[in-house]
Amino acid sequence: MSMLSEPSTSRPFDVHGKPGERTSAPAATGRRDPVDPALCRQWLRDMLLIREFENRCMQQYQDKKIGGFCHIYIGQEAIAVGCTAAVRPNDPIVTAYRDHGHALARGMAARHCMAEMFGKIGGCAKGKGGSMHMFDREHHLYGGHGIVGAQIPLGVGLAFACKYMDEVIDGRPNSRVALAFLGDGALNQGSMHEAMNLAGLLDLPCVIICENNGYSMGTSIHRGTTMGHDIISKAIGYGIDGYVVDGMDVLSVYHDMSAIVEKCRRESRPAFVDMRCYRFKGHSMSDPRKYRTPEEEHQYASDDPIGRLKLHLEERGELSEAALKEMQKEIRDEVREAIAWSESSPEPPMSELYHDVFVEPHGPYNGTSLPQMLQGKDLR
């Protein structure tokens, strides 16, 4: 695990570790069986799609097509893609507000994700959630949550429900694992600590994944978090196994997370992952990034997770230049189409203002309808 090594002169910046201090945590040791090249190429495509989507998001934000807050996932694509690959399609996941990558990796169509940000009826939540609140019932994505750390107890609750449905209602062993993502900025919220205590206490199959990009908005992890170089120690305090995973390498994410997830599934126990990464863009669209240097950004940019996967494939002769070009073109077209579709999607009708407040009548009943992307689908 390169992220655990001592800082070297060629890599002077290490946002996660303090010079001279090593983390006590072991690296996760997922088996390194070779991955089918076709699968690797699919991951490359998924990561490129997120990258292109996010780049175009920034343009759309600047063009004022997207309102509110908008948090860009560029640099962290390997995590959403690798983690999604490591779980089953019906394992529930929940994340924070930097959520476009998780939605796309989970299988939400780019058009429904983009239309949500455009505030259009074609959005995954009919334009009622926005960038920070992506929900997709079909793909078991339980949001997109805007309050830092709020999603972690929810994730533990998803794990509780998985286990309860299997063991208490159906009388069979637990079969599912929930993933709860957070940023390192959530490490100091009470909700994280309460959630970890409950997950440990109740033996809940939940992997709590800290996408540790080293910055809580503009505050570096060492300015805001005790033991910031060794956040696994927090999980150990709750009796939860912790692992350090290189979040800049999709193969590491996939191998390590597969091992961690299967252990949680088998043992019906939680785990905590220090997923080390770097966010290439600002915290949100309004962040001038004065708290870090161009040199540091440059070093991490040269460690681009997409570049690493590309290199892996090219070195093995598993990705031709023509195939890559074709892939890139397809993705550009897909995102361009998503934008055009979102632009042409109507604004939500005024009746939507009063839809979805209640399931059951309460006062004047205005009903509940599913978003376009789920209409006609059998969700049970």
Partner 1 sequence: MSTAIDPTMTATREIEFRDALREAMSQEMRRDPRVFLLGEEVAHYNGAYKVSKGMLDEFGPRRIIDTPISESGFAGMAIGAAMMGLRPIVEFMSWSFSLVAADPILNNAPKMLYMSGGQFGCPIVFRGNDGAGGQLGSTHSWCVEGLYSNVPGLKLAIPSCPEDAKGLMTTAIRDDDPVFFLESERVLGMKGHVPEGDYLIPFGQAKVRREGTDCTLVSFGRPVNFCLDAAAELAKEGISCEVLDMRTIRPLDIDSIVRSVRKTNYCVVVDQSWSFGSPGSEVASQVHQHCFDDLDNFVHRVHSADVPTPYAFNLEQEYLPNARRICEAVRSCLYRA
Residues that bind partner 1 (CB under 8 A): 92, 94, 123-129, 133, 135-137, 142-143, 145, 147, 150, 152-162, 164-165, 167-169, 190-191, 193-195, 197-198, 201-202, 355-360, 362-363, 368-371, 374
Q: For 27, which DSSP code?
A: B
Nearer to partner 1, 55 or 189 (CB): 189
Smallest separation (angstroms) from partner 1 to the CB of 102: 15
Nearer to partner 1, 145 or 279 (CB): 145
- Phi, psi dihedral angles at 266 (to 5 degrees): -65, -45
Cβ distance 345 to 118 under 8 Å? yes
Smallest separation (angstroms) from partner 1 to the CB of 39: 29
Smallest separation (angstroms) from partner 1 to the CB of 315: 43
Nearest CA-CA partner of 119 in 108, 135, 130: 130
| Beta-ladder partners of 72 | none
Nearer to partner 1, 157 or 305 (CB): 157
- Cα separation of 247 and 256, whole Å? 10
180 sits in which H/E element:
strand 178-183
Smallest separation (angstroms) from partner 1 to the CB of 237: 14
Smallest separation (angstroms) from partner 1 to the CB of 169: 5
Nearer to partner 1, 44 or 87 (CB): 87
Burial label, 161 (beta-carbon count in 10 A; 0-12, 13-18, 19+):
middle
Smallest separation (angstroms) from partner 1 to the CB of 35: 31
Q: At which residue do the structure tokens 């996932």 appear? A: 73
Nearer to partner 1, 78 or 152 (CB): 152
Nearer to partner 1, 164 or 291 (CB): 164
- Phi, psi dihedral angles at 308 (to 5 degrees): -65, -40
Side-chain-side CA neighbours of residue 158 (13 Å): 23
